[in-house]
């Protein structure tokens, strides 16, 4: 019934028949919105009012989500409790979907865990330490200077794959370890930022090789099982390594747990899962304005850390795990809040149409955060 009502409202909005649609929902529209979470799954369930959030602002957030064309789920966590949640289309609390480049933020955590475990000695090691079979095939000597830290920061010199038809073709064909030979550098390592899927994939291979483990097994032991969030699947490359940049399948509740753990300084259930120092490093802005295209009026700054974005929205700063299609884990420490969005991953779709859908989902969260009252 809830989804059917939202569908009717969407049709009215599209036809210009809903009074007040240009300026947002009416009071009658908001009265139809329900967002009470229905299942706990180990979470404490609450309401916005109990945590100082304006229920009308939350209702408008969920009303706007219902008007979007590709969203699957929206979850709001405040003070460690789920205060609002709803699902559309095929979405559900525990359905695992492709989280696209949110995978990168998980890989970033696994790099930190590999350092903590001791199997990865240092992120200042050269990348090529872990690709000895390719050492005598490197034609650009600058690649010998690339460090793991620079891969984490996307400052290794590898280009954004969508910058050329050849690189797009390679992206969709799929990477393997030897892709580091095929992809030319756009700049000297450490001199600038380029959003690079290959960099994230090389990180995944490095952790797997350094720790002598299939990355999904390493992730289960050190991250996913301690959080109680088993993955769906995780696609491998042509040589059997887990993709470091996409196609980890996780549920909205699993993403919420990951985001809450980061908000809590790496702790879950009284245990330190990810080192707090690693999270602090991951959220430092090593690059300002890392994204090339305007997203929306409240989606500002786009700084980049270690496989996380840093976004300014109004008076607030939040940390964003961001995936194609508008998958999001938005962590707002100032308000002790996490917002999770899953959506159609738009697999294999590029161009203005898919980008418009993605921007809608990104702006949904940015606009909500920007409208939150400033902290005194």
111 and 23 inside one domain: no
The token duo for 174 is 């799929």
Q: For all residues of the chain together, what is the average pLDDT?
A: 93
311 and 351 inside one domain: yes
Tell me: pLDDT of 6 over 80: no
What phi and psi, each to the nearest 5 degrees, are found at residue 243?
-65, 125
CB 303 within 8 A of CB 309: yes
* pLDDT digit string, tens, across residues 147-178: 999 999 999 999 999 989 999 999 999 999 99
pLDDT of residue 376: 79
121 and 72 inside one domain: no
What phi and psi, each to the nearest 5 degrees, are found at residue 71?
-75, 140
24 and 49 inside one domain: no
pLDDT of residue 2: 37
CB 134 within 8 A of CB 178: yes
pLDDT of residue 244: 98
pLDDT bucket at 90, cuts 50 / 70 / 90: confident
Residue 24, helix vs strand vs coil: coil
CB 74 within 8 A of CB 360: no
Among 226, 227, 279, 233, smallest CA distance to 254 is for 227
pLDDT of residue 38: 87
Distance (Å) of CA 2 to CA 6, 47, 76, 285: 6, 19, 18, 41
Sign of the Cα pseudo-torsion (138, 143, 149, 151, in order): negative
Could you give the CA distance from residue 248 to residue 361 in angstroms, rounded to a whole number?
A: 20
Could you give the CA distance from residue 127 to residue 111 in angstroms, rounded to a whole number?
A: 13
pLDDT of residue 20: 33
* pLDDT digit string, tens, across residues 176-206: 999 999 999 999 999 999 999 999 999 999 9
For 249, other C-beta atoms within 10 Å of its C-beta total 17
Residue written as token pair 């550098």? 185
pLDDT of residue 24: 86
The token duo for 12 is 């009215």
Tell me: pLDDT of 210 over 60: yes
Kindly state whether residue 235 falls inside one of the protein's structural domains.
no
Report which of residues 24 and 233 the model is more confident about: 233
252 and 355 inside one domain: yes
pLDDT of residue 135: 97
Averaged over 303-311, what is the pLDDT?
98
Report which of residues 234 and 6 the model is more confident about: 234
Kindly state whether residue 161 falls inside one of the protein's structural domains.
yes
Averaged over 52-75, what is the pLDDT?
97
pLDDT of residue 187: 97
Report which of residues 376 and 166 the model is more confident about: 166
The token duo for 83 is 């205060």
pLDDT of residue 200: 98
Among 231, 209, 210, smallest CA distance to 219 is for 231
CB 259 within 8 A of CB 331: yes
Could you give the CA distance from residue 48 to residue 341 in angstroms, rounded to a whole number?
A: 18
What percent of the chain has pLDDT above 90? 90
Can you give the CATH number for the domain in which 182 is found? 3.40.710.10
270 and 307 inside one domain: yes
Kindly state whether residue 253 falls inside one of the protein's structural domains.
yes
Tell me: pLDDT of 21 over 90: no
pLDDT of residue 207: 98
The token duo for 153 is 């920061």
pLDDT of residue 375: 85
CB 45 within 8 A of CB 82: yes
84 and 116 inside one domain: no
129 and 91 inside one domain: no
Burial class (CB in 10 A: 0-12, 13-18, 19+), 52: exposed
Tell me: pLDDT of 22 over 80: no
56 and 27 inside one domain: no
Contacts of 120 (CB under 8 A, 6+ apart): 111, 114, 148, 206, 207, 210, 211
309 and 215 inside one domain: no
Torsion of Cα atoms, 161 then 165 then 167 then 170, to 10° = 120
290 and 354 inside one domain: yes
**296: DSSP letter:** B
Kindly state whether residue 49 falls inside one of the protein's structural domains.
yes
pLDDT of residue 201: 98
**What does the DSSP assignment read for 142-200?**
GGGG-BHHHHHHT-SSPPPGGGSHHHHHHHHH---TTHHHHSPPSS-TTS-----HHHH
Tell me: pLDDT of 5 over 50: no
Count of domains for the chain:
3
* pLDDT digit string, tens, across residues 240-254: 999 999 999 999 999
For 94, other C-beta atoms within 10 Å of its C-beta total 12
Averaged over 36-53, what is the pLDDT?
95
Tell me: pLDDT of 132 over 70: yes
Could you give the CA distance from residue 220 to residue 19 in angstroms, rounded to a whole number?
A: 50
Kindly state whether residue 142 falls inside one of the protein's structural domains.
yes
Sign of the Cα pseudo-torsion (359, 365, 367, 370, in order): negative
**What is the residue range of 43's domain?**
33-95+247-371
pLDDT of residue 59: 97
pTM (predicted TM-score): 0.93
Residue written as token pair 């980061």? 262
């Amino acid at each position: 019934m809830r989804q059917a009502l939202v569908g009717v409202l969407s049709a009215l909005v599209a036809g210009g028949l809903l009074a007040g649609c240009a300026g947002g929902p009416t009071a009658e529209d908001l009265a139809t919105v329900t967002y009470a979470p229905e299942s706990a799954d180990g979470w404490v369930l609450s309401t916005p009012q109990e945590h100082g959030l304006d229920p009308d602002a939350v209702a408008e957030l969920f009303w706007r989500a219902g008007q979007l064309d590709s969203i699957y789920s929206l979850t709001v966590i405040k003070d460690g409790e789920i205060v609002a949640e709803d699902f559309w289309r095929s979405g559900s609390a525990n359905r695992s979907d492709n989280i696209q480049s949110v995978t990168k933020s998980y890989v970033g955590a696994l790099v930190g865990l590999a350092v903590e475990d001791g199997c990865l000695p240092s992120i200042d090691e050269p990348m090529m330490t872990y690709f000895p079979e390719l050492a005598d095939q490197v034609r650009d000597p600058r690649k010998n200077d690339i460090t793991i830290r620079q891969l984490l920061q996307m400052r290794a010199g590898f280009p954004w794959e969508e910058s050329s038809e050849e690189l797009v073709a390679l992206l969709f064909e799929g990477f393997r370890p030897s892709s580091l030979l095929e992809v030319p550098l756009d700049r000297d390592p450490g001199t600038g930022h380029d959003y690079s899927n290959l960099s994230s994939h090389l990180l995944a291979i490095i952790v797997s090789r350094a720790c002598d483990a299939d990355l999904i097994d390493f992730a289960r032991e050190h991250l996913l099982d301690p959080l109680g969030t088993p993955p769906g699947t995780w696609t491998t490359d042509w040589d059997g390594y887990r993709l470091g940049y996409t196609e980890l399948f996780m549920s909205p509740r699993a993403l919420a747990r990951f985001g809450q753990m980061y908000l809590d300084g790496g702790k879950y259930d009284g245990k330190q899962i990810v080192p707090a120092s690693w999270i602090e490093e991951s959220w430092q802005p090593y690059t300002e304005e890392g994204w090339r295209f305007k997203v929306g009026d409240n989606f500002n700054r786009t700084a980049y850390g270690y496989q996380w974005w840093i976004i300014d929205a109004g008076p607030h700063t939040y940390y964003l795990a961001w995936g194609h299609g508008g998958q999001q884990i938005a962590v707002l420490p100032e308000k002790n809040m996490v917002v999770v969005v899953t959506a159609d991953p738009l697999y294999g779709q590029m161009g203005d149409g898919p980008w418009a859908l993605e921007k809608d989902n990104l702006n949904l969260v940015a606009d909500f955060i920007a409208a939150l009252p400033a902290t005194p």
